[in-house]
Amino acid sequence: IVEQKDADEETQAINEINAGIYCFDTRKLFAALANVRNNNAQGEYYLTDVPALLREAGEDISIYLHHDAYEIEGVNNRVQLAELERILNRRTIARLMLDHGVTFVDPKNTYVSERARIGRDTVIYPNVSIEGDATIGDGCTIRSGTRITNSKIGHGVEILDNCVIVDSEISNDCTVGPMAHLRGNALMQEGSKVGNFVELKKTKLGRGSKANHLTYLGDATIGENTNIGAGTITCNYDGKNKNPTTIGDNVKIGSDTMLVAPVKVGDGASTGAGSVVTKDIEDETLVVGVPAKPIRKVEREEKIASKTS
């Protein structure tokens, strides 16, 4: 094995390289290292001299010829790192298309982690980044500009443009975005919906529930078939601690409601637009005002409307 700086023209014409990967019997290795000399162009002690020394001592030396030069390619600068990342990404996407039936609208402008798993008939649009240990189910649509990191996406999920989903889980048949942000182990249960400019942090959104516009839900647990109006905020931070908000089933939260945690909203309850909720709300109760106060029980017609809205 000859280092490049020590190689003559004839040696440099050889199209095989040393990958720098070795397997030694350590007792024989250390014995050979004692005989390594630095008679070379750089005045260094080369580990690459050891195989020749072992062979001269009568030991067996074997060489493995690898079939793929890129797998043993050295990375000495950022340009080489970027090139190998590009090759790995291209191979990952080709495998997903050919072996798993995934559609990439523009493979050259999509990044997918080698560890990612994506289901059949999922369509991924340009400028999507799927990072880390991400899992995406069958029949999903991932629109442009979305970033998914270490998250689990169920079957039949539609993720619209420019969403960020990190360390979270989205169940089957959900819709997310555009411009939504899920993080901190957020969970969307089956059939739920998060719309534009909505953020979920460490929040569970129940089956069939919706938060469609301009909303922050942090440290919250939300029941089934509940509607969260535009501009709603769970005020979870009191300056020292993060506090929980619990919202029941079939609840209607009016636009611009502030829920000052810790607070609980009972099943079938409603809040008026602009309410500031500082105390727990009983089941099937309408509250309004600043601070919010109970006005009356929610009528049956209103309950049905909140379920279907």
Which of the residues are catalytic? 213
Contact status, residue 127 vs residue 145, Cβ threshold 8 Å: yes
Residues 6+ apart with CB under 8 A from 111: 89, 128, 129, 130, 131
Q: How far are the Cα atoms of 102, 193, 236 from residue 210, in angstroms, in the given order?
A: 29, 5, 20
Q: Is the dihedral of CA 144, 149, 150, 152 positive or negative?
A: negative
Would you call 210 exposed, middle or buried from its count of C-beta atoms within 10 A (0-12, 13-18, 19+)?
Answer: buried
**Spatial distance between the Cα atoms of 146 and 108, rounded to a whole number of angstroms:** 16
- 214: alpha, beta or left? (left if phi > 0; alpha if psi -120 to 50): left
For residue 111, which amino acid is it?
Y
